[in-house]
Amino acid sequence: MPCTPVPTSPAHNPGPAPRRRVRRSRLPPRAVLAPPRGAAHPYPGFPRAASQGGASGLILESQSQASPTRPARYPGGAMEPRVVADAVETGEEDVIMEALRTYNRENSQSFTFDDAQQEDRKRLAELLVAVLERGLPPSRRVTWLQSIRILTRDRSCLEPFTSRQSLQALASYAGIALEGSVPEPLDMDVVLESLKCLCNLVLSSPVAQVLAAEARLVVRLAERVGLYHKSSFPHEVQFFDLRLLFLLTALRTDARQQLFQELQGVRLLTAALELTLGMTPDGGPPELLPPQETERAMEILKVLFNITFDSIKREVDEEDAALYRHLGTILRHCMMVAAAGDRTEEFHGHTVNLLGNLPLKCLDVLLTLEPHEGSLEFLGANMDVIHVLLSFLEKRLHQVGRGTYRVGTSVALTFPSSCGPCFFTVPTGKWRSA
C-alpha cells in the first residue's frame, strides 16, 4: 500500500520526510544445475535456501485508539497485526473474528511484510498457535487457519509454529496425523487451509521438515493418494496433498526412500497419474488435458521424479522393469497431449525430467506405437513421440539463446536404436508460499 504522509502546517513543515528503508524478502534463484544424486532436494529448480524477513510497503500507523468493538486500523483502512493481536487477547469472539477476517481479506495476496511490524506479527503468531494447540472450536477453524497461513509466509514468524504440538495439530486438522484423530468428519475447507499451512512451514523451516518426517506425514499422504480412485476429494485438497508430498520428498532423503521403498510410491503414483489423466484401458488420455488435471498431473510427475532420482538402479528385475515400462507408456501419452491454457510446455518439461530417470532398457516403449495414417515413421517405427521430444529440445535451445532459461538443456537420456534426447531444464521464476 502506498505511503500516506501525515499533514503538517506550513510553519512546521521541514520538507519531505525521509523514507524509511524496507527490506524485501527474496526467494533464491532457481538452481543452476540439477543437484548431484543423493542431494536433499533433487528436483530441478528447487530453491536451495530461504532468505529472512520481508516488507510489503511502508504504511503509517494510525494514531486513533481501538474501540471496544471495532479494532483500530491503518490510515487507508488496513488492519495492523498489533491490533489483531490485541483483539485476540480480549477473548471476545466477535471482536476476534472480525479482526481476523479483516486481516485475512487484506493480506490474502501478501507475500512480503513490513520489517517494522515483525515483533507484532510474532506476537500474533504466538497467540494464534497457543489456541491452535489447545484445540479450535469448529466455528473458528477456517478463519484461524487462514491467519496462520498468512503468517507462515513470513520466515521471521515461523518459530512459534514449529513445535511438535503445533505441527501435530495442523496435521490432525489436515487429516494426515498418525497419532490422535479428529472426532468429527473432516471439513474439507479446514483440511485445505491446514495443508497450505504445512506446505509453507515445510518449505521454509528446517525444523518443520524434521518434525514432519518424524511424524511420518508421508505415510498418511500416500494413503490418501491411494484413495483418490474411490473417494471424492476436492481438486485443491488433492493438489496440496501432492504439493506437500513433493516438498517432503524434495527436502528429506528419508522421505524419498520411505515413499519409494516402504510405500511402493512408483506404483501408487503411477496409478494416480493414470487416474488424473483420465486414461482408460482401451485408449489414452483426452487430447486436451483440463487445467485442474494438468496441475495435479504435474505435481505427481514431480514427486515421481524425486523418488526415482537416486533410487532406480541401472539394472532392474523383470517385475520392476514391467512397472517402469508401464510408467514409460503413460509418459509417452503425456508427451502427446496438450495442456489447457499455455501450460503444455511446462507439462511436457516435467514429463521429460521423469523420463530421464527411467532405466534405459525400459524406454523402448516410446517407440512401440503402431504407425498409422498421418504418423511419422522410420524403419517401421512410429516416431511421433521422438518428433515431439526433438521439437521440445529445439524450443528450449532457442529459449536458452534468448536468456529465458538460466540453464539450457543437457542430454539426460539416449538409448540404443536412436530413441532421441531428453533433457533437464530449470526455468526462471520464483517458488512462493501458499
How confident is the model at residue 121, as a pLDDT?
A: 96
Average pLDDT over residues 270-287: 81
Average pLDDT over residues 102-107: 96
pLDDT-derived band at 391, boundaries 50, 70, 90: confident
Helix (H, G, I), strand (E, B) or coil at 14: coil
Average pLDDT over residues 186-192: 95
pLDDT-derived band at 78, boundaries 50, 70, 90: confident
Could you read off the pLDDT of 83-95 as tens digits, one per residue?
999 999 988 999 9
pLDDT-derived band at 204, boundaries 50, 70, 90: very high
Grid look-up 491503518 returns 74
How confident is the model at residue 70, as a pLDDT?
A: 42
CB contact at 8 A, 343 and 290: no
CA 381, 415, 418, 413 torsion-angle sign = positive
pLDDT-derived band at 404, boundaries 50, 70, 90: low
Average pLDDT over residues 165-187: 85
How confident is the model at residue 411, as a pLDDT?
A: 35
DSSP designation for 280 = B
Rounded to 10 degrees, the C-alpha dihedral 241/244/246/252 comes to: -140
- Which has more pLDDT, 23 or 95? 95
DSSP designation for 429 = -
pTM of the model: 0.78
How confident is the model at residue 315, as a pLDDT?
A: 76
Among 121, 105, 2, 108, CA closest to 54: 121
When mean pLDDT is compared over 44-48, 70-74, 111-115, 387-391, the highest value belongs to 111-115
pLDDT-derived band at 277, boundaries 50, 70, 90: very high
DSSP 71-112: --B-TTSPBPHHHHHHHHHH--HHHHHHHHHHHHHHTTT--S
Sequence ranges of the domains in the chain: 36-58+68-214, 264-434
In the chain, pLDDT over 90 holds for what percent of residues? 53
Instruction: Give the CATH number of domain 36-58+68-214; options: 1.25.40, 1.25.10, 1.10.3210, 1.10.132.
Output: 1.25.10
In the chain, pLDDT over 70 holds for what percent of residues? 69
Average pLDDT over residues 167-178: 95
DSSP 19-74: PPP-PPP-PPPPPSSPPPTT-S--STT--S-----------PPP-SPPPSSS--B-
pLDDT-derived band at 50, boundaries 50, 70, 90: very low
> Is the pLDDT reported for residue 362 higher than 90?
no
> Is the pLDDT reported for residue 216 higher than 90?
yes
Phi, psi of 79 (to 5 degrees): -90, 130
Could you read off the pLDDT of 106-157 as tens digits, one per residue?
999 999 999 999 999 999 999 999 999 999 999 999 999 999 999 999 999 9
Could you read off the pLDDT of 152-171 as tens digits, one per residue?
999 999 999 999 999 999 99
Question: Of the given ranges (144-158, 247-261, 273-287, 323-337), which has the lowest mean pLDDT?
Answer: 273-287
Rounded mean pLDDT of the chain?
78
Q: Round to whole Å and give the CA distance between 248 and 251.
A: 5
How confident is the model at residue 378, as a pLDDT?
A: 66
How confident is the model at residue 8, as a pLDDT?
A: 42
CB contact at 8 A, 127 and 99: no
